[in-house]
Amino acid sequence: MTSLPTADPYLPGHGDPSWSATHYALDLDYDLVSNRLAGTAVIQAVADEDITRVVLDLAHLQVQKVTVDGKAPAKWAHRDHRLVLTLKREVRSGQAFAVQVKYAGRPRPVVLAPHGDAGWEELSDGVIVAGQPHGAPSWFPCNDRPDDKAPYSISVTAAQNYTVVANGALVGRTRRGSGETWRYEQDEPMASYLATVQIGRYRLVEDDGDGIPILGAVPEGAMAGYTRSFGRQREMLDYFSEAFGPYPFGRYTAVITDDALEIPLESQSLSTFGRNYLTGRWEEVRLVAHELAHQWFGNAVTLRQWKDIWLHEGFACYAEWLWSEAGGYESCDTHARRHHARLARLGKDLVLADPGPAMMFDDRVYKRGALTLHALRLTVGDETFFRLLRTWVARHDGGTVTTADFEALAAEVVGTDLSGLFDAWLRGLPLPALP
């Protein structure tokens, strides 16, 4: 037996580079009392080379039935979080095929060193899926690599007194017996780690502004706090749309869980925050801005390899500083100089453009990433800098990118050689001075 693939060295044992998904349809039934999930996943796919084997990622749940193009494969085996299908005959490179997997069980987070746990997680009275970076296999069979983006249809049936939020637009709600089925369509391509389901006793509230619908999934008694911390999301979205280009999805939802959560997290078209983010202080508001900015940087424009995580976190962190200035808090430059001084006192063992899996979510990736953008902005001027950001999003919306892509676009838009700046900030160890 040949060994199983790893698509990205930062996520060992995840992803199969020999094929790509072109659509996921997930039909899920979830019992909150017993934490039992029953699902059918239909994955439309295309072979990227001649293949006789298809490997999917699926953790903890039991596979009941598998078909490929409507028929049983030659054989299938499910162990150690991998579902391995041996095909009856070769699928040639470029050919389409469809895999259907019926499965059930008690979902729980996936544990992967050095990242810890991620994925389907029970709350006191509900569920979140915090998929980044390796949690998607906790709830559906997938090709778990960030460069394989596809549209999704997600249908979830749960008890009637709960609200279900998933990615994309809510296209249907059907009541049947004691359950209610919520159907969502995520038309824009999405990486597997950004797929999510959120279930809780939420009231769905929509702001009355024009343009992109902004929703809150808010638990009992949290409306005043929601207004305190999230009340300026319309202004934020308008400001970011000016700075980065149009908001990339059809709606945006902030889910506020009744439980406290250690950190907020972005998913495609929505973000999740704990109830401990409702006092309206800058430390919370900055994360409201941060998660919203990920809709452009991370979700619409997604890294091809996890080593380029600064393309998500550095940009989202810089968006915090931008909103600080636009929203009447401290200036962007004040944040930059303060964090530069802080970073100058910290250890210098991190390479921004390849920090290693253990440090990919280190705070220095966020702050040095943001400082790289600030240094670039101070070098090329505001007009060119924001034109570069808007061109970056417009050109790569729905796709995947590398650090080299950003450097090449910067050279193209700016028209001068920036390799010295990028080498020092992205690949050097010492902290360069700000211009």
Q: Output 39 or 369, the one with its CB closest to Zn ion.
A: 369
Q: Which is nearer to Zn ion, 16 or 313 (CB)?
A: 313
Nearest-approach distance from CB 171 to Zn ion, in angstroms: 28
Q: Which of 99/311 has CB closer to Zn ion?
A: 311
Q: Which is nearer to Zn ion, 13 or 356 (CB)?
A: 356
Among positive and negative, which fits the CA dihedral 337, 342, 345, 347? negative
Tell me how many degrees the CA angle 124-269-132 measures, rounded to the nearest 5.
Answer: 60
Minimum CB separation of residue 273 from Zn ion in Å reads 12
- Cβ-based nearer residue to Zn ion, 180 or 313: 313
| Least distance CB 324 / Zn ion (angstroms) | 16
Q: For residue 305, how many C-alpha atoms fall within 13 Å in the half-sphere facing its CB?
A: 18
Which residue number, 53 or 374, has a Cβ lying nearer to Zn ion?
374
87 forms part of the interface with Zn ion (CB under 5 A): no
Question: Considering the complex, what minimum distance in angstroms separates the CB of residue 365 from Zn ion?
Answer: 10
The amino acid present at 67, given as its one-letter code, is T
Q: How far is the CB of 138 from Zn ion (least distance, A)?
A: 20
155 vs 196 by CB, closer to Zn ion:
196
User: Would you say 299 and 240 are in contact if contact means Cβ atoms under 8 Å apart?
Assistant: no
Identity of the residue, 91 or 265, whose beta carbon is nearer to Zn ion in the bound complex: 265
By CB under 5 A, the residues from 167 to 196 that bind Zn ion are: none
- The least distance separating Zn ion from the CB of residue 290, rounded to whole angstroms, comes to 5
Indicate if the alpha-carbon torsion angle 297, 298, 299, 304 is positive or negative: positive
Closest distance of CB 392 from Zn ion, Å: 17
Question: Binding to Zn ion (CB under 5 A): which residues in 6-25?
Answer: none
- Window 257-296: contact mask with Zn ion (x via CB under 5 A): ----------------------------------------
92-107 burial by CB neighbour count: b if 16+ within 10 A, else e? eeeeebebbbebbbeb
Residues 253/269, Cβ–Cβ less than 8 Å: yes
Q: What residues have CB less than 8 Å from 1, skipping those under 6 apart?
A: none
Residue 400: how many other CB atoms lie within 10 Å: 20
CB atoms within 10 A of CB 286: 18
> Which is nearer to Zn ion, 141 or 357 (by Cβ)?
357
CB 355 → Zn ion: shortest distance, Å? 14
> Which residue, 24 or 296, has its beta carbon nearer to Zn ion?
296
**Which of residues 121 and 313 has its CB atom nearest to Zn ion in the complex?**
313
Q: Give min distance, CB of 88 to Zn ion, in A.
A: 43
Cβ-closest position to Zn ion = 316
Interaction residues for Zn ion, span 299-358 (CB under 5 A) = 313, 316
Residues 158 and 165 sit within 8 Å (Cβ to Cβ): no
Give the nearer residue to Zn ion in terms of CB position, either 316 or 389.
316
Q: How far is the CB of 118 from Zn ion (least distance, A)?
A: 14
Q: Residue 77 CB, nearest distance to Zn ion (Å)?
A: 36
In angstroms, give the least distance from the CB of 39 to Zn ion: 28
Contacting positions for Zn ion (CB under 5 A):
313, 316
